[in-house]
Every structure is written in C-alpha cells, then in structure tokens.
Structure 1
Amino acid sequence: MQRHPYILEAGSEESECGIYDPEPIQDDDLWFMPASFSGEADDLAPPLPRADHSRLIDVDAWREAEASLAVSLAKVAAKLGALDERLRRAPEGWRHRLALIEASGVSWLGTERISAERLSLWRAMRLSGVQEDNQALARADWACRRLTAGPMPDVTSAESVMDFLGRQEPAEVDHILHPSGEPIGDQLAAWCEEMNRAGDLHPISRAAFGQYLWGPTGLLAHVPGAEMEAAVLSARIATDGLTGGAVFLPLAGGGLSGLRRVGNPAERLRRFLKGAEAAILATLRHLDQLEAWQGRASHALKGRSGRTPKRMVEVLSEWPLVSAPMAEEITGASRAALQRNLNDMAQMGLIREITGQGRYRVWCALV
C-alpha cells in the first residue's frame, strides 16, 4: 500500500505546526504573562488597598497602662535623671563611648550584628573587614551620630522626623517589597498624628508607644535597619525635658527584650520599663568603672611630660578600642610617641592588647 504525504494547505490553522506538535496554547491560559492594557482599572494591580490599622492603635489603653505602672515609671525616670546629671558633669568623650555601645547593641535588632570594636574602627578610620557589610556599618554609624548629639526631632512633624532619619522618598516604589505603595511621608504623617494624640504621656511612656507604633504604621517594611531607626528615635524621645546630659535613654544594656512588639500595652510598657531600668543601671556602673580607671591612669602617668599621655587617657576613655594609626589620626601625635605610651600603659596594667599579634595591634582600657 502506497503512503501519501500529509500536505497542509497554506493559510490553514494547522499549517503553523506539524502533525506531531502539541496544540497551540490560547492566550487566556498564559497566566504568567502581563495582561494587555484595556483601559480598565485592575483592582489587583499595585498599589493594593491598605488595611485600616487605626483599630490596632488604642492610645487610651496606653494611658491606662501608664497609670497602672506609675511606680515603675517613677523609678526609671529617677534613674534616668541621675544619669542625666552624671553625664552633664562628665567629659564629652563619655557620651560618645556610651553612644558607640548603644549603637552596637541596637544593631542586633536586625540581621546586622556590629560590635563596638568594629564600629569604633569604622568611625575613626573607615576601616572594615573584607567580608563585612559596609552598609550595615554605615547604618550603625548613623545610629551612633544620632545618639551622640543633634537636635531632638519634633515628633508631631513628619518632615522633622524624616530629616532626623535621613530618609527620602524613593523615585519609584518597589511594589513587590511594598505592596501598599504608600509613600513614607504619608506613613510618617500617620505616625506623627498618633504621637500627637499621645502627647499627654510621660516621655518614657511616649517613647515606648512610638517604638511600638513603628509596626502598625508600616514603617518597618521600607528599608533595612528600620528596627534600629525605631529604637534610636524612641531613645531620643525618652530624654525630652532633661538638662542635656543624657542625650538618649539606654535600651541595649537591658537585653533589648523591652523592644519586643508582643502583648497588650500594659505588657509592652512593663517590659520597656524593666529593660530601660536594667540598661540605666548597667550604664551607671560602667561610668563608675570608667571614672575609677581614669583616676588610676592619671595617677600612674602623673610624672610623664608632654601632652601625649594625657591625651591617650582621653582617647582610651572615649573609644572602646584604640589602634596606633587610629590614635595618630585622633590626637595628631607622632606614631613613635603613641607606640611608646601605649607600651608603657600596657606594662602599668592600665590597658591590654587584645589581638596577640606583632602587627595591627589594638588596645582597650582595663575598665
């Protein structure tokens, strides 16, 4: 039996594929392809509708929580006042040292765990390791600068808070990361509106409220390090009305448990006060040890001539870790003089070299 070839006529639907090819897929089945523009609005296209979070923010519940925890709040406020008076009479370098320690602590709120030693080297000389994230170090450096000095942000003004955070509206909103598509300015405006409603709270309670409010207003979803921003801003809010000695409320020394966003307002405020009290006590104890070390160092170096020994005591009090190039950058003294003084202070038992290496050595005060 003779076989005849299967010939398709030109222009027929079957002429575009062979007899063994699968049937063509209709355009309606291509779910992964973008839909053609038909002029009609798509309800599922970004920005998506934003849920109403107003019912999640109950300022009256925070007022009731503050009233029920009045004794604990008074204790924390008294300890913060003592810290404020202590720092008001202290050298400027002490505030910088505490800011370094606090910035290092709050960096652990996210995935970035920056030690005070690494942050010190970054701030002094912009030095980082090969495998270190410079962006994470820059964020920790921002936290240290905001905790060291600067004006208190006006929490009732979104523009003031945005300037404090150093935020800017992105040119284009990433709808995958931010499905709501709401500008950060609008979210900060909502945050400031709620903070204005809570204006009658004590600054410490208001700081706890503002830190919690970062989540319901959607500010945690914008950039890496948003948790750090919330903690730094809350630490500054808590010192409103003080004399200027304590620039921020220590929080990292309490283990950061007070910054967890779980439980009702009373539980959140209780954890916040407990963590703040522990952090303040740890800070006061550290200042006592630092003051005692300065006294020992000044007495041991009393007979030394020149300004370098005295300047080295100040540098070691201000920075948790000091290297010879770093001290040279800060003090302006010669490398030989600094190296000689560092070796002498190590022999006196005032400082300790922590690397154990012959080169690239780093010292810390034996506080």
Structure 2
Amino acid sequence: MAAFLDRRDPENIEDSAERFGDRAGGWLDVMAAAGDLHPITRACMGFHLWGLAGLGGHDDLMEAAVTASRIAASDGSGAIFAPLAMGGAGGLRVSGLPPERLAHWLDGMNSAILTATRTLDDIEAWTARAETIMAQLSGRTPVALRNTFSQWPLVSAPMAESMTGASRAAVQRNLAWMEAKGLTREVTGQGRYRMWRIDTEGMRTGRNA
C-alpha cells in the first residue's frame, strides 16, 4: 500500500515506512474482517476508517478517496476506479452517524455514476459528430487528435504532440481547425499554457460550422 500511495518521508524514510506499515496493517486487518460486505459498502467503511487509523493528515481526504474508489470497483467487473466526486462531494462527508454516512456515500456514488454515464454518452456522441465533420481532412494527425480528445478531459498542445506523434505545427493547425468548427473550445482564456476540451455544449445546441 505504501508503494501504491507513493508514501515517502524525506526526513526519516525508514522510520516513517515502519510506522505507516503498522497503521496500514491495522486498517487492512479491519477491512479483511469486513470481506463479506459489498465492495461499495466496504469502500465507505474504509474511507471513514482511514483517518481513524492515522493514515492521512488532518482534513486530507485524497488518499482515502482514491483507495476507496479502488475498493468500490473490486467486484470483478474490470473497472479500475468507481466515480466518487463527479456528482459533487456529498458522498465524502465525514460527519454524522454511520448509517447517515453510508446513506450519503450511496447517494453521492449514485449521483457520480449518473454524471459519469452522461459524460460517456456525450463523448460517444461527440466522437460520431467529429468523425463526420473531420472526414474531409487527410493524414493521421486529425484521427489521432480526435482519439486523444475522446480519451482525455483536457488537452494541451504539448500533450497533443506527445499523444499523436505529430509536429507542433500540425497539432496547432488541427487544434485551430477543430476549434473553428465547434468541435473543441479553449478553456483557459490565456495566450500561453492553453488547454482545450471537447465542445459538448455546441453539440447540444446544434452549433456547427
């Protein structure tokens, strides 16, 4: 677990690793004892026991949430993570009695799953639309760039270069073309370090070039 979380203490790495290993071992023992619970319920349990076991800093819920999202997806479906916060942070509340926390957890996960499903539907519809609009373009860069946008929520020009293997000029030219056609939009509003994402709003409103 220490390796998975990349836990390192530059001041005293050996002592820190030993203390973390002891605390993690206790947490793992409790989680193993709850093996008959559904993975989503176990994930909630593990999330709320994380801080009590001394595994996270004060108000630091990131490691607990990441670990819980792995547990929730451990039902053999092939998923790596279960969405937790896509529908808001309601499922990550740390106050209330255990039944209330579980109810918030289930409601939050349900909301996150619905949001994730809508996002996947939007990406599928965008991909079909992009294939039609970009059919007039030749070469491998447009196809590779379209695939990149379908797999990542935000894309920068350097990232696009790395993902597609295309030159900077080719990437910049295709990014500008896709933005002009309403397929993507720049989200930073800056002249440097810009990021693009697929334009699902334009797709819903029927905006097209």
| TM score, norm. by length of structure 1 | 0.50
1:243 paired with 2:77, answer: yes
Aligned AA for 1:324?
A
Partners of 2:65 and 2:89 lie apart in 1 by 10
For 1:335 and 1:225, the matched residues in 2 are separated by 42
Q: What residue in structure 1 maps to residue 207 of structure 2? A: none
CA shift in 2, pair 1:299/1:230, >3 Å? same
The structure-2 alpha-carbon separation of the partners of 1:312 and 1:198, relative to structure 1 and needing over 3 Å to count, comes to same
Number of residues of Structure 1 aligned to a counterpart in Structure 2: 197
SS in 2 for 1:185: helix
Higher relative contact order (CA 8 A, sep 6+): 1
Match of 2:33 among 192, 197, 201: 197
State which of 164, 186, 189 in structure 2 corresponds to 1:331. 164
Q: Mind listing any 5+ residue stretches in structure 2 that lack a counterpart? A: 201-209
The answer to whether the Cα contact below 8 Å between 1:165 and 1:229 also exists between their aligned partners in 2 is: yes
Other-structure match for 1:280: 113
Find the aligned partners of 1:323 and 1:361 in 2 and give their Cα distance. 6
Give 1:214's aligned residue.
Answer: 50
Segments of 5+ residues of structure 1 without an aligned counterpart are 1-160, 175-181
The structure with the larger Rg is 1
The 8 Å contact of residues 188 and 219 in structure 1, kept in 2 or not, is answered as yes
- Distance in 1 (CA, whole Å) between partners of 2:75 and 2:39 is 8
Mapped contact 1:328–1:338 kept (Cα < 8 A): yes
Give 1:168 shift.
4.8
Specify the SS of the correspondent of 1:352: strand
AA matched with 2:7: R
- Note the 1:48-63 alignment, pairs <5 A: none
Q: Choose which of 323, 331, 352 in structure 1 pairs with 2:185.
A: 352
* Higher relative helix content: 2
Secondary structure, aligned partner of 1:301: helix
> Counterpart of 1:316 in structure 2: which amino acid?
F
Alignment of 1:1-367 (within 5 A): 161-168=1-8, 170-171=12-13, 183-221=19-57, 226-244=60-78, 246-356=79-189, 360-367=193-200
What secondary structure, in the 3-state scheme, does the structure 1 residue paired with 2:197 have? strand
Q: Encode CA deviations 1:227-269: one digit per residue, 9 max, x unaligned.
A: 211110100001112331x211101113222222222221111
Query: What amino acid is aligned across from residue 228 of structure 1 in structure 2?
Result: M
- State the secondary structure of the residue aligned to 1:204: helix
CA deviation profile, 1:85-114 (whole Å, cap 9, x unmatched): xxxxxxxxxxxxxxxxxxxxxxxxxxxxxx
In the alignment, the residues of structure 1 paired with residue 51 and residue 155 of structure 2 have an alpha-carbon distance, to the nearest angstrom, of: 38
**Distance in structure 2 (CA, Å) of the matches to 1:238 and 1:358:** 41
Asked whether the equivalents of residues 257 and 272 of structure 1 are also in contact (C-alpha less than 8 Å), the reply is yes
- Deviation, 1:307, is 0.5
Shift of 1:199: 1.1
Tell me, what secondary structure is at the counterpart of 2:76?
Answer: coil
- Asked if structure 1 preserves the Cα contact closer than 8 Å seen for 2:161 and 2:167, the reply is yes
Per the TM alignment, residue 345 of structure 1 is displaced from its structure 2 partner at its CA by 1.3
Question: What is the aligned-residue RMSD (CA, Å)?
Answer: 2.3
Percent identity over the alignment? 51
Closer/same/farther in 2, CA of residues 300 and 265 from structure 1, 3 Å limit: same
Does the 8 Å CA contact 1:219/1:226 hold for their aligned counterparts? no
Question: Residues 106-137 of structure 1, C-alpha deviation per residue, up to 9 Å, x if partnerless?
Answer: xxxxxxxxxxxxxxxxxxxxxxxxxxxxxxxx
Q: What is the CA deviation profile of residues 36-55 of structure 1, one whole-angstrom value per residue up to 9, with x for unaligned ones?
A: xxxxxxxxxxxxxxxxxxxx
- 1:217, CA displacement in angstroms? 1.4
